[in-house]
Amino acid sequence: MSVEEAATIFALSSGSPPAAIGVVRMSGPGAGQALQAMIGRLPPPRRASYARLRDPANGLLLDRGLALWFPGTATATGEPLAELHIHGGRAVADAVLRALAGIPGLRAALAGEFTRRAFANGVIDLAEAEGLADLLAAETETQRRAAMLTADGALSRRVEAWRNDVLGIAAQIEALLDFADEGDVAADDAPVRNAAAKLADEIGALLEAPSAERLRDGVRVVLAGPPNAGKSTLLNALVQREAAIVSPIAGTTRDVVEVPVAFAGIAFLLSDTAGLRVSDDAIEQIGVARAEEAITQADIILWLGDPSETPGGANVIRLQTKADVQPQAIPNVDMIISAKTGQGIGALVAMLVDRAKALLPTTDSFAVNRRQRDALHLAYMSLRSIVSEPDILIAAEHARAARAAFDSVVGRGGVEEMLDALFGRFCIGK
């Protein structure tokens, strides 16, 4: 560990003041000495103790609160850790942080540095750290549940089991190579190939599941149709605010207006688009092109046009709008609504939630992000290569590649370039 990594760090790990309580955390080899300098003693390990906090530089009383001391490596960061639970006023927190900054060997923590030390010290692996980052960013219940599973090690345990299976396959390959040295012994490689095929199928099933990005960014719902179909009015009704400009003038919406919203604990990204029509207006032509592009990228399309012109290639809900003006149903629509009166809006939201559930991980399963998916795909392809590779020596290399891919999922190697970006997502003090 470098001198910089060995430094003792500190930060306010609770929310920004003012608050009822503030938690100041210290981690590193000098955490115990810093705690002792602040309260005049080292409290019993892992027990909250009432203490008077004083500035070591001048003995000035800063606050009265609780002190906790966690010696050794069985801590949240894998190194000595101390906490001060203080009153959460801004002046109190600033005074305590200034006092800590004056202690030799201490420095303010960088964003995500506590969690990065936990990873570096083996308390958590990379997949768990990514789950924790998603948990901190979670805004809906489905995001929280999926992130909690990953942060709690569900993906890591699955990958570790697969890694052990690959080690078993590699051991069988080594045995086959030993038999190959005996010219009079025929080696049966069918068990190896069957085991690789079975494992590849398990990984393939996970790769086919919905991604973490859809869960995190929201199910993309695009409102599309001709001009004056009521797209902007419907968007405003769904999000219950004036998010898009509404006008009787055709072609008012000329760009894609994106609004995040949550229904029933599920994140959605609603996109209002320009009306689809042929136009001589160069600006409107750009808007129509962007609308067509948004349609191709949609998870669900709310189509407000002629049902016979419904776009294909996506999950489409055909809507008849303006039921307050035209209450009679036209053929081949899925729902009749009125954004003006609210008729059918609740039912439409319920339908969106039902459609979205089919696109997202179930509440008892985790989702893999793009980095994890790429590594698992490499493992999948390596295992498939074992199945089809006639040369058992080359098959051994494919087994090694699969094992390396699993290692990268949990951060055993090949991930250095993305660590700064990951831990930079965390707040100061985490």
Give the containing element (helix H, strand E) for 266. strand 266-272
Do 183 and 158 belong to one domain? yes
Distance CA 168, CA 163 (A): 9
Q: Are residues 145 and 12 in the same domain?
A: no
* Torsion angle in degrees (nearest 10) through CA of 302, 304, 307, 313: -30
Confirm whether 291 is domain-assigned. yes
User: Is residue 227 included in any domain, yes or no?
Assistant: yes
Whether 134 is in a domain gets the answer no
Residues 197 and 233 in one domain: no
Confidence band for 182, pLDDT divided at 50, 70 and 90:
low
> Which has the higher per-residue pLDDT, 80 or 307?
80
Q: What is the spatial distance between Cα 96 and Cα 106, in angstroms, rounded to a whole number?
A: 13
Query: What stretch of H or E contains 296?
Result: helix 282-296
Do residue 200 and residue 286 come from a single domain? no
Domain final residue pick, 77, 102, 125: 125
- Sheet with 300-303, edge to edge strand ranges: 257-263, 266-272, 219-224, 300-303, 315-320, 335-336
Determine if residue 344 is left, alpha or beta; phi over 0 gives left, psi from -120 to 50 gives alpha, anything else beta.
left
pLDDT at 1 over 50: no
- Categorize the per-residue pLDDT at 323 as very low, low, confident or very high, splitting at 50, 70 and 90: confident
Asked, for residue 417, whether it belongs to a domain, the answer is no
- 40 and 168, same domain (yes or no): no
The answer to whether residue 146 is domain-embedded is yes
* Same domain for 94 and 121: yes
Same domain, residue pair 205 and 220: no
**Both tokens assigned to 340:** 């003006």
Q: What's the CATH code of the domain at 94?
A: 3.30.1360.120
What's the pLDDT score for residue 101?
Answer: 96
Q: How does strand 300-303 pair with strand 266-272? A: unpaired
Q: What is the CATH number of the domain that holds 257?
A: 3.40.50.300
Secondary structure of residue 352 in the 3-state scheme? helix
Asked whether residue 246 carries a pLDDT value surpassing 90, the answer given is: no
262 and 341 Cβ atoms separated by less than 8 Å: no
Q: How far, in whole angstroms, is CA 63 from its chain's centroid?
A: 38
Q: Which of 358, 361, 356 is nearest to 143 (CA)?
A: 361
List of E strands, 90-226: 106-108, 219-224
- For residues 152-172, give the mean pLDDT: 93
Measured CA to CA, the distance from residue 392 to residue 177 in angstroms comes to 7
8, containing H or E segment: strand 8-12
Pair 30, 145 in one domain: no
Question: Does residue 52 belong to any structural domain of this protein?
Answer: yes
Classified as helix, coil or strand, 67 is strand
Range of the domain at 55: 3-125
* In-domain check, residue 416: no
Q: Are 229 and 349 contained in the same domain?
A: yes
pLDDT tens digits, one per residue of 378-426: 999 999 999 998 888 899 999 999 999 999 999 886 555 556 666 766 7
Mean pLDDT in the chain? 87
Residue 135 lies in a domain: no
Q: Are residues 20 and 112 in the same domain?
A: yes
Residue bearing the bigger pLDDT, 371 or 247? 371
Name the domain count of the chain. Answer: 3
Lowest mean pLDDT among 77-86, 178-187, 355-364: 178-187
pTM: 0.76
pLDDT in tens, 119-142: 999 999 999 999 998 888 888 888
The CATH number of residue 154's host domain is: 1.20.120.430
Write down which residue in 125, 150, 175 finishes a domain: 125
198 with 233, same domain?
no
**C-beta atoms surrounding 355 within 10 Å:** 16
What digits encode the pLDDT tens for the residues 24-45? 999 999 999 999 999 999 999 9
Q: How far apart are CA 349 and CA 99, in angstroms?
A: 53
- For residues 204 and 321, membership in a common domain is answered with no
